[in-house]
Amino acid sequence: MPPRYDYDESDIRVRPGRRGSRPRTKDRPAHLDAVIAMVVGVDRGRWTCLYDDRTVIAMRARELGRTSIVVGDRVALVGDTSGDDGSLARIVRVEPRTTMLRRTADDTDPVERPIVANADQLAIVTAIADPTPRPRMIDRCLVAAYDAGMDPLLVLTKADLGDPSAFLQEYVALDVPYVVTNLRVDPPTGVDQLRSLLDGRVTVLVGHSGVGKSTLVNDLVPQADRATGHVNEVTGRGRHTSTSTSALPLPGGGWVIDTPGVRSFGLAHVDPTRIIEHFPDLAAGTADCPRGCTHDEADCGLDAWVAQGHAGPSGPARLASLRRLLRSRLGTPDPDEAPAEN
Ligand SMILES: Nc1nc2c(ncn2[C@@H]2O[C@H](COP(=O)(O)OP(=O)(O)OP(=O)(O)O)[C@@H](O)[C@H]2O)c(=O)[nH]1
Ligand SMILES: [Zn+2]
């Protein structure tokens, strides 16, 4: 079998170039001299890449058209890869991706927005209080993680503000690993455990503003300097870091990728008939469903199954969450969900 490449739609759509002379995908030069770098930041048409411990700023080659290039992507660079001040390399190719975390603006928006490539873990960061946990947002993130082929991880912050057991009880049936942190004690608790869960992996952090993501990242990556507004040494860009996605190397190996601004996941790209598969605690309960059950209808077998306690104490809430998601996905907006932000 030929290798599968995760080409963007702009690679396969045959459309004449604006001047009619742009090379087609198959005619692209091979760029045998290219080096492979990792994209660690994106800002206004410039990609910050890490190659051989050098931070190289690059632009996108014209021949790539509108191919999306996101943090985590492995890219082929040509031109000036010195990383010297003012130097600019050129991205000529995006390597095949192992995973792609995507979202849409809302549940019916047809435009997919790729967020991060090649990450293998999605850390869903929630505060025990301040701000109040939003279980449906967490369920959405879980669906996004499973759909992207990433392992979810629950990070529950601000343990000084309340008892996490009730919250965790909601997710026991899911078998999702979790860690509880408290940075208001000396020494802070949970951070070492979190560090070991991130070790050697590429983890994307998502969560609402104020849950303590930046504080955690600063703890995990001492030179991260998140959200201070200074030029960031690792990403090399001068923009206020908390407004752009960036990948930071963990001292113990692996990467942590902070995604400020991703407050919600639109899931228009997830096939509604597959959403149930992303609720592993409920999926087994569909055995008694009628053929083609949408799981949001009177005959659905899930009601009885959940009522019998098979999905644990959180079953009813999770079933309600599944149905909200299905309705939203099918175009009935949920008034309680905050609109997604870019
Ligand atoms: N009580 C308590 N507060 C914490 C803890 N960790 C962080 N905070 C505070 O929570 C507030 C928000 O933390 P940030 O790290 O800025 O939160 P964030 O998720 O990065 O928010 P954005 O930058 O807006 O995306 C800050 O005032 C932190 O000091 C904790 O363990 N307990
Ligand atoms: Zn059903």
Task: Name the CA radius of gyration of the chain, rounded.
Answer: 22
Say what the pLDDT of residue 168 is. 86
- Cross-strand pairs, 51: 54
pLDDT at residue 100 greater than cutoff 80: yes
- How far apart (Å, rounded) are the C-alpha atoms in residues 298 and 127? 36
Q: What average pLDDT does range 90-117 have in this prediction?
A: 91
For 47-114, the DSSP string reads EEEEETTEEEEEEE-GGGTT----BT-EEEEEE--S--TT--EEEEEEPPPS-EEEEESSSS---EEE
Q: How many degrees, rounded to 5, is the angle at CA 156 between CA 151 and CA 261?
A: 75
Q: What are phi and psi of 249, to 5 degrees?
A: -75, 135
Are 9-94 and 99-342 the same fold in CATH? Answer: no
- The DSSP letter of residue 189 is B
Torsion of CA 195, 178, 245, 269, to 10 degrees: 150
Q: What average pLDDT does range 97-113 have in this prediction?
A: 88
Range from 6-20, 100-114, 237-251 that averages highest in pLDDT: 100-114
The CATH number of 99-342 is which of 3.40.50.970, 3.40.50.300, 1.10.510.10, 1.10.3720.10?
3.40.50.300
Contact 268, 110 (CB under 8 A): yes
Atom from ligand 1 closest to the CA of residue 242: 23
- Write the class of the CATH domain 9-94: mainly beta
- How far apart (Å, rounded) are the C-alpha atoms in residues 12 and 4? 13
Q: What are phi and psi of 120, to 5 degrees?
A: -115, -5
- How far apart (Å, rounded) are the C-alpha atoms in residues 230 and 243? 12
Name every protein residue with a CB atom under 6 angstroms from any ligand 1 atom: 157-158, 160-161, 181-184, 207, 209-215, 227, 242, 260
Say what the pLDDT of residue 172 is. 72
Q: Which two tokens stand for residue 211?
A: 């849950």
Whether the upstream peptide bond of residue 187 has omega within 30° of 0, thus cis, is yes
Say what the pLDDT of residue 209 is. 84
Domain ranges for the chain: 9-94, 99-342
Of the listed ligands, the closest to the CA of 304 is 2
Say what the pLDDT of residue 105 is. 82
pLDDT at residue 254 greater than cutoff 60: yes
Q: What average pLDDT does range 305-332 have in this prediction?
A: 88
Of 96-100, 188-192, 306-310, 317-321, the range with the lowest mean pLDDT is 317-321
Q: What average pLDDT does range 241-261 have in this prediction?
A: 82
Atom from ligand 1 closest to the CA of residue 218: 15
Q: Whose CA is nearest to atom 24 of ligand 1?
A: 209
- How far apart (Å, rounded) are the C-alpha atoms in residues 193 and 199? 10
pLDDT at residue 250 greater than cutoff 50: yes
Residue that is written with structure tokens 């702009």 in the block: 10
Q: Please give the distance, rounded to the nearest whole angstrom, from the Cα atom of residue 125 to the centre of ligand 1.
A: 11
Say what the pLDDT of residue 241 is. 41
pLDDT at residue 247 greater than cutoff 60: yes
pLDDT at residue 263 greater than cutoff 80: no
pLDDT tier for residue 188 given thresholds of 50, 70 and 90:
very high
Of 167-171, 234-238, 290-294, the range with the lowest mean pLDDT is 234-238
Smallest Cα–Cα separation from 159: which of 136, 127, 131? 127
- Residue 300: which residues within 8 A CB-CB, separation 6 or more? 289, 290, 293, 294
pLDDT tier for residue 27 given thresholds of 50, 70 and 90:
low
Segment 123-158, tens digit of pLDDT: 999 999 999 998 888 888 988 998 898 999 999 999
Segment 57-80, tens digit of pLDDT: 999 999 898 889 999 999 999 999
Q: What percent of the chain has pLDDT over 90?
A: 51
Q: Please give the distance, rounded to the nearest whole angstrom, from the Cα atom of residue 310 to the centre of ligand 2.
A: 15
Say what the pLDDT of residue 342 is. 33
Q: What average pLDDT does range 196-205 have in this prediction?
A: 96
pLDDT tier for residue 332 given thresholds of 50, 70 and 90:
low
Q: Please give the distance, rounded to the nearest whole angstrom, from the Cα atom of residue 19 to the centre of ligand 2.
A: 53
pLDDT tier for residue 340 given thresholds of 50, 70 and 90:
very low
- Tell me the H-state helices in the chain: 9-12, 135-148, 165-169, 191-198, 213-220, 280-283, 302-307, 315-329
Say what the pLDDT of residue 329 is. 82
- Cross-strand pairs, 76: 36, 93
- Cross-strand pairs, 248: 256
- Binding site for Zn(2+): what residues are annotated? 289, 293, 295, 300
pLDDT at residue 226 greater than cutoff 50: yes
Say what the pLDDT of residue 262 is. 63
From 160, 204, 214, mutation site for ligand 1 pocket: most ligand atoms within 8 A of C-beta: 214
CA distances from 195 to 114, 179, 219 (A): 26, 10, 10
pLDDT tier for residue 245 given thresholds of 50, 70 and 90:
confident
Q: Which two tokens stand for residue 74?
A: 């492995």
Q: How high is the mean pLDDT of the chain? A: 83
Atom from ligand 1 closest to the CA of residue 125: 19
Polymer length of the chain: 342
Q: What average pLDDT does range 318-327 have in this prediction?
A: 89
Which residues are near ligand 2, the ion (C-beta closer than 5 Å)? 289, 293, 295, 300
Q: Is 87 exposed, middle or buried (0-12, 13-18, 19+ CB in 10 A)?
A: middle
pLDDT at residue 274 greater than cutoff 80: yes
Taking CB atoms within 8 Å and a gap of at least 24, the contacts of 291-294 are: 294/326
